[in-house]
Structure formats: structure tokens, C-alpha cells
């Protein structure tokens, strides 16, 4: 089936959609930019406008949300639309990822009106692309943890929900345990991921390691057992404990001890 693009620019309004609809149109699609950001002179139609146009023309509305945020993370500094909001707005079909912000296994999820989802299941491609039982089990476990708000069982969400003050206390305690290390604790930003929340970050506290050979220090940490992945920024070696589990801190302390000499 041929696909007709509305306007291949950064400014698209509901009139562009309306003018593009003809007798061959079968679906109205809106895609959320979950892995990029366009800033400046931009626009896109409101979802309510698109739903109203779909009802007027008898066309289903499909929104691809990409990262699949099912828990409101705005109180933690992550501004991503919720799947539930899209469905409440009247969208007929929503697709999103089972990993990323949902925090489960890598998978694609379709949600919406039962008759549309059932029609998609009858497509021959469904059998080729369907998930196996292990993925279904992992996804069920993740969704059950979400339902009962057991955030500690979902690493991605547990890390996002960790406060900057909690990270500061951990960083200061760890640094104090390695007195020979030339380092300090400074405020910084945690980047959640370009594929989930592009151009968005949340406050954290970083361990800043000072060294005359920053590249060499990074390589020594990365070559250790277990490897420690730090990042170099503005000629500084940075460690963010947001992505370090508490049970891993002792191994990290030993790695920093070895780096300090």
C-alpha cells in the first residue's frame, strides 16, 4: 500500500493532514520523536485534532510513541508522553517499545482497539515477527512489577527515580573509602539515553577523577575485571553512580583503589 507523506518539514499542521486525505487514505499516523529533537520553528498537529479528523473521515488514528512511557516520569525530570494519555485521547492504535522507558525486554508492543489489534494479528508477518515464550515471560514480569509499583525490580526505572541527594551520599561515601584517589564530588547531569529521551537529562552528583593522563586512567578502569565504564568530559574523568547498583560498589571501590595506586 503506498504511503503518502503529509509535509517533509519541521512544520506540520492539521490542515496539512486534511489536505492530504483522499479516497485512497486508510490510516492517519503521527510519530513521536522519541530518539531525536527538532527545535526552533516547528509545529505538529494536536492529537485531539487528528482524532477528530479521523472520526470525521472514518479513518483510524495510529500513534507511534517509540520509547513507550507507561509510568509518569515528569516528577523526575523526564518529559515523555504516556501511552495511557494517547489512548484516552481517542487514538485507535498505539505502538511502543517493551524496553527503553518501560524497562522490560526488547520488543514491540501494539495496544488499542481490540478489532484493530486482532486484524494485525491475522497478518502473515505476525507469525514471522512474534515474540517467543521467554520474551513474553520477561515482559509479564516487568508489567507485573509496574502494576504493583515495585520499582526496584525494574533497573531502568529504579535508576531514573533515584534522587540526586541519594547519589551524592553514595558518591561521597565511596570517595572517602579511597583516600589516595585524587577526586571530588560535583553536581552534574545524568543522560538517560538518546533512544529514549533525547536532549533530556536529570540532576545527579558525579565523581570527578583528576589525573595527568585522563585517557590512560579511563583505559585502566575499562580494562579491569570487572570493567568500569567512565566517561571523559572537558578533560575530566566522570563516574555517575546512578548506573551502579549498590551491590557493585565494593567492586568499584577496588577498581578505584587500584587506579589510585
- Longest alpha-carbon distance in the chain: 74
User: Which of the two residues, 125 and 206, has the higher pLDDT score?
Assistant: 206
Phi, psi of 44 (to 5 degrees): -150, 155
Q: Which of these, 111, 85, 67, 27, lies nearest to 200 by C-alpha position?
A: 67
176 lies in the same domain as 249: yes
Sign of CA dihedral 162, 33, 21, 24: negative
**Final residue belonging to a domain, choices 107, 124, 157:** 157
Q: Would you say how long the chain is, in residues?
A: 261
- CATH of residue 149: 3.40.640.10
Is 112 inside any structural domain?
A: yes
My answer on whether 150 and 167 are in the same domain is: no
Residues paired with 38 in a beta bridge: none
**How far lies 254's CA from each of 130, 206, 220, 261, in Å?**
44, 18, 13, 11
Do residues 38 and 198 make contact, with C-beta atoms less than 8 angstroms apart?
Answer: no
Which positions ≥6 away from 246 have C-beta within 8 Å? 170
Dist CA 203 CA 164 (whole Å): 6
Q: What is the pLDDT of residues 21-53, one digit of tens each?
A: 999 999 999 988 766 666 666 778 899 999 999
63 is a domain residue: yes
19 within some domain: yes
3-state DSSP assignment of residue 184:
strand
Instruction: Give the phi and the psi of residue 118 in degrees, each rounded to 5.
Output: -65, -40
Q: Domains in the chain: how many in total?
A: 2
What does the pLDDT read at residue 201? 87
- Higher pLDDT among residues 51 and 80, named by residue: 51
Of the residues 125, 140, 157, the one at which a domain ends: 157
Q: Is 253 within the bounds of a domain?
A: yes
Residues 152, 174, single domain; the answer is no
Query: Residue 40: its pLDDT value, please?
Result: 66
3 confidence band (pLDDT: 50, 70, 90)? low
Range of the domain at 246: 162-260
96, β-bridge pairs: 66, 109
Residues 106, 211 within the same domain: no
For residue 112, pLDDT over 60 is answered with yes
Q: Are strands 61-66 and 93-97 parallel, antiparallel or unpaired?
A: parallel
Q: Does 183 map to a domain?
A: yes
> What pLDDT is attached to residue 11?
77
How confident is the model at residue 37, as a pLDDT?
66
Instruction: Give yes or no: residues 223 and 152 share one domain.
Output: no
Residue 227 CB burial class (10 angstroms; 0-12, 13-18, ≥19): exposed
pLDDT averaged over every residue in the chain: 90
Tens of pLDDT along 243-254? 999 999 999 999
Task: Mark which of 157, 174, 204 sits at the end of a domain.
Answer: 157
Are residues 180 and 139 part of one domain?
no
Q: CATH number for the domain including 191?
A: 3.90.1150.180
pLDDT at residue 92, rounded to an integer: 97
Of residues 67 and 255, more confidently modeled: 255
Residue 121 maps to a domain: yes
**Which pLDDT value is given to residue 77?**
87
Tens-place pLDDT, residues 131-176: 899 999 999 999 999 999 999 899 999 999 999 999 999 999 999 9
List 7's β-bridge partners, or say none.
none
Residues 218 and 113 in one domain: no
Amino acid at each position: 500500500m503506498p504511503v503518502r507523506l503529509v509535509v517533509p518539514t519541521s512544520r506540520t499542521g492539521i490542515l496539512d493532514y486534511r489536505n492530504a486525505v483522499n479516497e485512497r487514505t486508510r490510516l492517519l499516523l503521527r510519530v513521536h520523536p522519541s530518539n531525536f529533537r527538532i527545535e526552533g520553528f516547528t509545529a505538529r498537529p494536536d492529537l485531539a485534532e487528528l482524532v477528530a479528523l479521523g472520526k470525521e473521515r472514518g479513518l483510524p488514528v495510529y500513534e507511534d510513541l517509540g520509547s513507550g512511557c507507561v509510568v509518569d516520569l515528569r516528577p523526575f525530570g523526564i518529559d515523555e508522553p504516556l501511552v495511557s494519555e494517547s489512548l484516552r485521547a481517542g487514538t485507535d492504535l498505539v505502538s511502543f517499545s517493551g524496553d527503553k522507558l518501560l524497562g522490560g525486554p526488547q520488543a514491540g508492543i501494539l495496544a488499542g482497539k481490540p478489532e484493530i489489534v486482532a486484524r494485525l494479528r491475522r497478518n502473515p508477518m505476525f507469525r514471522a515477527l512474534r515474540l517467543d515464550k521467554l520474551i513474553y515471560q520477561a515482559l509479564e514480569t516487568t508489567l507485573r512489577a509496574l502494576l504493583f509499583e515495585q520499582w526496584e525490580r525494574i533497573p531502568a526505572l529504579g535508576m531514573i527515580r533515584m534522587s540526586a541527594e541519594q547519589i551524592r551520599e553514595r558518591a561521597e561515601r565511596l570517595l572517602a573509602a579511597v583516600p589516595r584517589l585524587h577526586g571530588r564530588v560535583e553536581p552534574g547531569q545524568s543522560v538517560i539515553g538518546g533512544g529514549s529521551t533525547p536532549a533530556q537529562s536529570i540532576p545527579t552528583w558525579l565523581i570527578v577523577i583528576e589525573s595527568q593522563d585522563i585517557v590512560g586512567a579511563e583505559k585502566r578502569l575499562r580494562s579491569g575485571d570487572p570493567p568500569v565504564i567512565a566517561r571523559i568530559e572537558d578533560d575530566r574523568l566522570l563516574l555517575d553512580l546512578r548506573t551502579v547498583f549498590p551491590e557493585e560498589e565494593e567492586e568499584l571501590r577496588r577498581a578505584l583503589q587500584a587506579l589510585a595506586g
